[in-house]
Amino acid sequence: MSIVKFLTSKTFFKHLALAVIAIVIFCFLLLKWLDSTTNNGEFITVPDLKGKSLETVQIELEDLDLVMQIQDSANYNPNYPKFSVIEQDPNAGKNVKENRKIYLTLNPSGYRKVALPNIMRRTFRQAKPTLEALGLEVGNKTYIDNIGKDVVLGIKHNGKNVKPGDKFPLKTKIDLVLGNGNRSSN
């Protein structure tokens, strides 16, 4: 039998039709199986977790079949409670599949500490930006008799003398003792 005669025979078309039907049935069953195993079309809406405590977040995510993954702590944000969530990925309102990891960034317990720079014998004009660049704030200024006008002669915090190198949390107010430009009267 020649190839051309076989390709035009009834048997060939019968087998071709059976093969096409088998492929269609296989594809249909495969797609149904994939739909059931991947939960196609089933989504969970991510809740808003910002400002919530870690315990609350864990309960909420477990109820929704989501997984919590703590990424890191960020810089302290006074607008949120300590150890609460300040960022999340994916954001609230996004649709995700079950068992999806929700990455969380936590608010630390307080500002990080920085070392007090040596601003002694510097002018107030030099000392103020140095303190502010480190995240410290200038508090009260008191003046004493000294020929150096606006020269830093002492550094205080809460009324106590402090020295360069002491560590303070960010946003701490540092009080300065400055010269008033007058000679001391002895």
Number of domains in the chain: 3
Return the H-helix or E-strand segment holding 113: strand 113-115
54 within a domain of the structure (yes/no): yes
Do 148 and 173 fall within a single domain?
yes
Residue 185 lies in a domain: no
One domain for residues 24 and 59: no
End-to-end CA distance of the chain: 131
If asked whether residues 67 and 15 sit together in one domain, one would say no
The sign of the dihedral angle between the CA atoms of 101, 105, 109, 114 is positive
From first to last of its 186 residues, what are the pLDDT tens digits of the chain? 688 887 788 888 899 999 999 999 999 999 998 888 877 778 889 999 998 988 999 999 999 989 999 887 667 788 888 888 988 989 999 999 888 999 998 888 777 889 999 999 999 999 999 999 998 999 999 999 988 899 999 999 999 999 999 999 888 999 999 999 887 765
pTM: 0.56
Residue 125 lies in a domain: yes
Among the candidates 81, 106, 131, a domain finishes at 106
Query: Are residue 60 and residue 26 in the same domain, yes or no?
Result: no
Q: Please name every residue paired with 106 in a beta bridge, in sequence order, or none if there are none.
A: 73, 85
* Surface-to-core class of residue 103, CB atoms within 10 Å of its CB (0-12 exposed, 13-18 middle, 19+ buried): middle
And the tokens for 53?
């405590």
Same domain, 74 and 57: yes
Is residue 120 within 8 A of residue 155, CB to CB? The reply is: yes
Q: Indicate whether 132 and 172 sit together in one domain.
A: yes
* 100 and 145 share one domain: no
What is the distance between the alpha carbons of residues 68 and 104, in angstroms, rounded to a whole number? Answer: 7
pLDDT at 47: 93
Q: Cα–Cα distance between 8 and 115 in angstroms, integer?
A: 91
Pick from 106, 123, 142: which residue ends a domain? 106
Q: Which residues pair with 179 in a beta bridge?
A: 144
Residues 71 and 49 in one domain: yes
**What DSSP designation does 105 have?**
E
Q: Is residue 19 part of a domain?
A: yes
Do 83 and 100 fall within a single domain?
yes
The CATH number linked to 77 is: 3.30.10.20
pLDDT of residue 41: 75
Residue 7, domain member (yes or no): yes
Q: Check whether residue 28 and residue 52 sit in a common domain.
A: no
Same domain membership, residue 139 and residue 122: yes
Assess if residue 184 is contained within a domain.
Answer: no
Q: Are 20 and 55 found together in one domain?
A: no
Residue 72, domain member (yes or no): yes
Structural domain boundaries, residue 174: 113-179
Kindly state whether residue 67 falls inside one of the protein's structural domains: yes
